Chain A
Amino acid sequence: MEVKISGSGRIGGGVYESVGISGSGKISGDVQCENFHCSGSARCDGALQCSDTLHISGSLHAEKDVSATELHISGSLKGQNLFIKDSGSISGACELRQDLKCETISVSGSLRTGGGIEATDFRLSGALRCDGLLNAENVDIRLGALHNEIGAVGGSRIRVTTAESHGLFRRMLSPNIGPLKVREAIEGDEIHLENTVCPLVSGRSVKIGKGCDVGTVRYSEELETAENAAIGSIEKIGL
């Protein structure tokens, strides 16, 4: 069954083929559908499960979990946990009370999670606040905001740079970009950091770049450090 809201309306929970909201929609209960498309604003007081695509141009505010195979948000998404089977792209803001689990995700804007993040490929340009562990095969974070915090980072290729390094902003015009503050540790195989504050960085090939403040660096093969990087101690380990 296809459901469409044009203007403002309400939908009850249930199983639908596709749900389309153009305007403002209120969903009471859990919804299972193939495709969910919202152009405007949607509020769901239950869980939203899409077997195919979830597409928001505007805002989606869910009380419980949101899941989809593919997800595209241009605007804002709020929910409990977010599960993306394949790929997701968020341009705007995403705020989750718990975890984000996905295959591939690309965020341009801000991502906040109360729990952890798991992904194969994690790409973010903007602001990141994650209370738990970011566990991803490939991490590429380009900082573009004042406050960025994360519990810990673990994976294979980990890269943290600032938007400035990519020539996106000239020094005088760049917004205030703060460091990425890591509470516990960054552990990976190939690590390249800039503007990162972290008590412990461990890896095979490690590069501590400009603006970093690291307590202890442990490396097994290669270490490169920038002149203005603050490093407490360095240990060569046998991994």
Chain B
Amino acid sequence: MEQEKLISKRDLLERYGMSYGALYRWKRKGLIPEEWFIKKATVTGQETFFPEQLICPRIELILSGKNELELDALAEKLRGEADAEMWLTISTVYGDRRFKLSDVKKITVSRDAETVNVTEAVTGCIKEGKKWR
């Protein structure tokens, strides 16, 4: 699996001159989705990272409109977008993993050296304008 570029929470706060209070406040408001908080084990213990290409534009967007009303309006808009989003969920014996359909680049099934690209087969049933069954 391709490794997306991650930025640590600490580096993020330093880069934008943000406080922990602000980060947690924005999380409560729904401006930063739970899925973006990625926990990894490091030498210092558990640290939190974010997908850099997602979090940085979001922080810049939040900082560009700093008053309360604007942030609430932004949260409402993002909620609306999230609700309209389609999700691919894979249920396994180890639990469920959920992905935004718009984030899915390729889906393949393989055995030994043989790989079949099933992306179109899985996502093709969902076409623009076609209703859910």
Contacts and interface: CB of A to CB of B under 8 A. Distances in A.
Interface of A: 118, 120, 135-137, 154-157, 184-185, 187-189, 199-200, 202-204, 215-216, 218, 237-239
B20 A202 contact: yes
Given A135-B27, A237-B10, A216 B45 contact: yes
Contacts of B24: 135-137, 154-156, 187-188
Contacts of B10: 202, 218, 237
B4 interface: no
B21 A137 contact: yes
Contacts of A202: 10, 20
Contacts of B46: 184-185, 199-200
Given A156-B20, A189-B19, A216 B25 contact: no
A136 B44 CA distance: 25
A118 B20 contact: no
Contacts, number: 55
A164 to B, nearest CB: 28
Interface in B21-58: 21, 23-25, 27-28, 44-46
Pairs A-B, 9 closest by C-beta atoms:
A156-B21, A154-B24, A189-B21, A187-B20, A135-B24, A189-B19, A155-B24, A188-B20, A118-B28
A189 B21 CA distance: 6
Interface residues of B, number: 16
Given A189-B20, A202-B20, A239-B19, 16 more contacts: A136-B24, A154-B20, A154-B23, A155-B20, A155-B24, A156-B24, A184-B46, A187-B24, A188-B21, A188-B24, A199-B46, A200-B45, A200-B46, A218-B10, A239-B14, A239-B20
7 contacts: A137-B21, A154-B27, A189-B19, A200-B44, A204-B20, A238-B14, A239-B14
A118 B29 CA distance: 10
Contacts of B126: none
A215 B21 CA distance: 22
Nearest to B18: A239
Given A135-B28, A199-B45, A216-B45, A204 B19 contact: yes
A199 to B, nearest CB: 5
A120 B25 CA distance: 9
- Most central of B17, B23, B44 by chain A CB within 10 Å: B44
